[in-house]
Structure 1
Amino acid sequence: MSASTITPWVVGNWKMNPMQADAGQLVQNLKKLLQDQIIAESACHIGVAPVSIALLNVQAAFKDAGRQILTVAQDLSRIAGTGAYTGEVSAELLKDSQINFVLVGHSERREIFAETADIIQAKVKHALTAGLTVIYCVGESLEQRENGQAEQVVLQQICDIASVVEAEQWVNIVIAYEPIWAIGTGKTASPEDAQAMHAAIRLGVSQITPAGQTMALLYGGSVKPENAVELAACPDINGALVGGASLNAESFYKIAQAFANTK
């Protein structure tokens, strides 16, 4: 399988949005779009990452969508199992609720909540051990890019987790490259810059594991319908982690359609 034949993923990260009624309407609108003009599962994996209190409701609401819509947790505990850890949700608890996918390492978790490489490492380890698929987020700041450190920073973030990933577990990792300076700013890396970084990631991961050749690499950072076709045309970009545009069903659908039709 070459990078160009990898089934793309389009995942909507709802972050700390929306209110319950709006979430319900968003799900219904997306279901209607998918039922009116289905995007085959073989053409594109589609998922949404709602707030933790909505995970099970959203999962249930998509049961009759006509195709699988993955429900993705935005985070998980660095502590495994169960116990006296107020406010935490472990990998095992997610798995027990059939939530089989989780974001780890998002720049907002790294920056706002001071998640270190050690914390992220523990989260990845527990998620994989519990049988979850990890969407692992990497990305550089504007300062790091301007200093010519972008590739070094991103590849180091991948190396940070390599020691806790067993050889057979790499197939359960998807990498999402999100330049921090493009998240929620309206700025997007040019298709050329995004492709160059994705190619560097694929090369770097392939030096660690053969799974690097078939791993889905997603782009995130102000992805919208207007730039999705160009991004989808890049050979090493296998999908998108979508922020703000995922809160509008039509915009999110069009992004998924762009990747399904281009790949």
Structure 2
Amino acid sequence: MSSSTITPWVVGNWKMNPMQADAFQLIEEFKQLLQQQEIPSERCHIGVAPTLIALTNIQAQLKDANRTIFTVAQDLSKVSGTGAYTGEVSAELLRDSQIAFVLIGHSERRELFGDDAETVKAKLHNALNADLKVIYCVGESLEQREQGVAEQVVLQQICDIASVVKTEQWQNIVIAYEPIWAIGTGKTASPADAQAMHVKIREGLKQITTWGANIAILYGGSVKAENAVELAACPDINGALVGGASLNAQSFYQIASAFAQK
């Protein structure tokens, strides 16, 4: 399978947004847009990652959409199973609620909440062993890019997880490349810069796993309707992890539509 034949993914990461009534309206507006002009599932996978308290409500609301829209957890616990772990939600609890996808390693979790490499590995191990599919986030800071070590940092983040991923589990992983300096800043890596990093990630994946040619690699970092077409045109960008623009139904639809044309 070549990169050009990988079905794109467009996933909206809502982060700590919005209020419940606004979330309900957002999903209804997005479903209406899909009714007016369908984006076929075989052309683009679509997912939304709501807040934890909204996960099952959003999942239920999406059931009558005219196509599959996946519900994605934004994070999970480094502890597996059940037990006396106040405030934690394990991979098994997500699976029990029919949540099949989870984000792991987002830079905000790494930078603001102390998710180091060992924590990220534990979370990913738990997710895969509970048969969850993982969107694994990697990316460099502005300082690291300016120092010329961006590729080294990103490839190391991928190598970090190799020891806990079984051969057959790589097919359950999607990579999301998000340059940290472009998240929520309005700055976006140029399509050429993003494409170049995606090529390096693909090369790294091929060295680690026989599934390397099949894994979708998404771009994140101020993806908007205005730049989606240009990003989608890059041969090694297999979709987008969308932040703020996913909180607007029209913008999110336009981004998904752009990648569906890929």
TM-score by length of 1: 0.99
Q: Does 1:19 align with 2:19?
A: yes
Distance 1:210 1:188 in 2: 31
Deviations 1:52-109 (A, max 9, x none): 0000000000001110000000000000000000000000000011100000000000
Letter in 1 for 2:124: V
Describe the SS at the equivalent of 1:211: coil
> Identity of paired residues, percent?
76
How far apart in 2 are the matches of 1:193 and 1:212? 21
Tell whether 2:228 aligns with 1:213: no
1:33 maps to which residue? 33
The whole-number CA distance in structure 2 between the counterparts of 1:60 and 1:249 is: 18
SS in 2 for 1:152: helix
Residue in 1 that maps onto 2:3: 3
SS of equivalent to 2:102: strand
Is residue 59 from structure 1 mapped to residue 63 from structure 2 by the alignment? no
2:198 corresponds to which letter in structure 1? Answer: H
Q: Determine the C-alpha separation between the residues in 2 that align with 1:56 and 1:201.
A: 33
* In 1, Cα distance between equivalents of 2:206 and 2:94: 29
Alignment partner of 1:42 is 2:13: no
Distance 1:81 1:48 in 2: 25
Q: CA RMSD in A?
A: 0.4
The one-letter amino acid paired with 1:99 is: I
2:90 maps to a residue whose letter is: S
- Give how far 1:210 is off: 1.4
- Partner in structure 2 of residue 120 of structure 1: 120
**Amino acid in structure 2 at the alignment position of 1:256:** A
User: Is 1:165 the counterpart of 2:165 in the alignment?
Assistant: yes
Does the residue aligned with 2:211 lie in a helix, a strand or coil? Answer: helix
> Which residue pairs with 2:233 in the alignment?
233
Cα distance in 2 for partners of 1:141, 1:125 equals: 25
Shift of 1:181: 0.2
Matches within 5 A, 1:36-185: 36-185=36-185
Query: What is the SS of the residue equivalent to 2:135?
Result: strand
Structure 1 residue 201 displacement after superposition:
0.2
Q: Which runs of 5+ in 2 are unaligned?
A: none
Displacement of 1:175 in angstroms is 0.2
- Aligned residue identity for 1:175: I
Residues 239-258 of structure 1: pairs in structure 2 closer than 5 A: 239-258=239-258
Mapped partners of 1:255, 1:212: distance in 2 = 25
List runs of 5+ in structure 1 lacking aligned partners: none
SS at match of 2:46: strand
Calculate the TM-score normalised by the size of structure 2.
Answer: 1.00
- The letter for the 1-side match of 2:106 is H
Secondary structure of the residue aligned to 1:114 is: coil
In structure 2, how many angstroms separate the alpha carbons of the residues matched to 1:165 and 1:35? 39
Q: Report the Cα distance in structure 2 between the residues aligned to 1:22 and 1:118, rounded to whole angstroms.
A: 36
Separation in 2 of the partners of 1:132 and 1:114?
23
